[in-house]
Structure 1
């Protein structure tokens, strides 16, 4: 596949259809085109640091994650997410198609004068799953999910997380909103903005942990940070909370003081 200076929606569709293809740098113009200029009508999700849009190709759909314009607050998350996503390829990890890191000049008025400012664009492109996230299916006794589906979802999350840990990657924000479901109820772990790669760290490195209440290990609240050796256990705690919620439809057990791996 020739990814030259001009990439068309048809090229991205070819990339999506080729399971062996590696992620590519994608031009801002392409992502603007397929999202109709990042229009509100194409918006399918919104978080603290990003908005996710549906990108329409000729025969397929992709998801485009656009980081906040206050990029300097989330630049590290962008680099961490791209790095981790470039390293992984697994049936229970969201498929990463490409990224865009673009800077454009913009002339604006400031104190009565025209000044040139820089507008930074940080975007990620993924496969699209219309079922949405696990969060939408695990309240009210898991909303009638069959036991075989619950088992498959739990098994898939475990396999995906095990794969990440084998790659020395900790997710650090595992919760039902960050697990997407395909049309066959196969779970896909996504959102690696807070993830870390072990190889970059030393034993005394400290990680500040933030996450969704109820899925974050209680000891994280009483510390400024944790060492990387402890961090994978935090993923295991989050996994346990998710499993309990899938089985019962309710948030998990909270009266614990620490995570123990037996």
Structure 2
């Protein structure tokens, strides 16, 4: 490990322990070292755009997301993901520890000539979430997680999404595989590669690309118009999957009945199942204007007793404070590191 990587190793160790630390630039050599040079045995998972590796820091671990096909990488998408992640800090959103925007010159043979090409490596470093993604835990009501745990997960996802929407951030790919759960079954929303940020006075975005995951897309998405209600629809599908193991259910009564067949619910549990089912089905309304906002959903939890008014006030305060917490110099650094190399391609 070179001197820069050694120093960064110590910094990253400190960041893992101290949640008040800001995300920062990390050298590629450090990420190579802690992942054993991105070896297969350190691989945690992969998707269409990235491979995630486990990074080892002594007795602690981090997750390193290495973007695939960096030569053809969409720099705007990378910057967008970093921009979103650096603006958020919430217990139900995966914590960004650092990023790598590394560009190196490499001699290659092109049409019989040796030419210098810029090789781009883009990676993100996150807290390590030990239990993996939520889709590993979703089953029908007859088996799997007990009700209290499912309720905790549903409530946490709603609070995380509320935080994002209060900060004008759309996730746009909310689904169980993009929600991680830690050792205490606390859910953490992850994978912001498709996310968008609204300006303060903006209520919708028109996109030219169809993005997201089939089964979680709201009907109006095919019109290429993006609003906060797109995430709400996806949330509804996720809630119904957590409740039933299926993406939809015809009524709250049927959901409650399926849980009664599994175990004897107390009156409080019975009401929690009912409210969660109603939230899920309201979120999946075909007419987006009939879907609740995250504020409406949080209010339903407060009325149910699942979130105290003090917790709600704290949630609002953290939304306002943490959104401004990230230093602008970090984001400026990311933009410069990502964009300047592109000018030489």
Q: Do both share a fold (TM > 0.5)?
A: yes
Unaligned runs of 5+ in 1: none
CA distance in 1, matches of 2:69, 2:25: 19
SS in structure 2 at match of 1:106: strand
Counterparts of 1:68 and 1:105 in 2: how far apart (Å)? 18
Equivalent position of 2:137 in the other structure: 137
RMSD: 2.2
Asked if the contact 1:9/1:58 (under 8 Å) is kept, the reply is no
Structure with the largest fraction of helix: 2
Alpha-carbon distance in 1 for matches of 2:12, 2:70? 28
CA distance in 2, matches of 1:29, 1:142: 48
- Using the TM superposition, give the Cα deviation of residue 108 of structure 1 relative to its aligned residue in structure 2, in angstroms: 1.5
Matching residue of 1:244: 240
C-alpha distance in 2 between matches for 1:70 and 1:90? 29
**1:22-74 deviation line (CA, Å, top 9, x unaligned):** 10111111001101111111111111111111101112000000111245443
C-alpha change, 1:17 and 1:40, in structure 2 (3 Å) is: same
* Structure-to-structure mapping, 1:122-201, within 5 angstroms: 122-141=122-141, 143-199=143-199
- Map of 2:291 onto structure 1: 261
Runs of 4+ in 1 over 6 A off after TM superposition: none
CA contact (8 A) 1:131 1:183 kept: yes
Question: How far did residue 252 of structure 1 move?
Answer: 2.2
Q: Which residue of 2 aligns with 1:235?
A: 231
1:105-116 matches, within 5 Å, as 105-116=105-116
Q: Distance in 2 between matches of 1:119 and 1:133?
A: 31
* CA distance 1:109–1:142, shift in 2 (3 Å): farther
Paired position in structure 2 for 1:212 = 213
CA distance in 2, matches of 1:119, 1:253: 49
Q: TM-score scaled by structure 2?
A: 0.69
Distance 2:195 2:70 in 1: 20
Preserved CA contact (<8 Å) 2:67 2:123: yes
> Is this contact kept in 1: 2:98–2:125, CA < 8 A?
yes
Correspondence 1:88-107 to 2 at 5 A = 88-107=88-107
The answer for the alignment partner of 1:17 in structure 2 is: 17
CA contact (8 A) 2:8 2:26 kept: no
What are the ranges of 5 or more consecutive residues in structure 2 without an aligned counterpart? 251-283, 293-345
| Number of aligned positions between the proteins | 255
- Distance in 1, Cα, partners of 2:167 & 2:202: 16
State the partner residue of 2:316. Answer: none
Q: 1:42 to 1:50 in 2, by over 3 A?
A: same
Structure 1, 170-179 or 204-213: larger mean CA deviation: 204-213
Task: Tell me how far 1:19 sits from its aligned partner.
Answer: 1.1
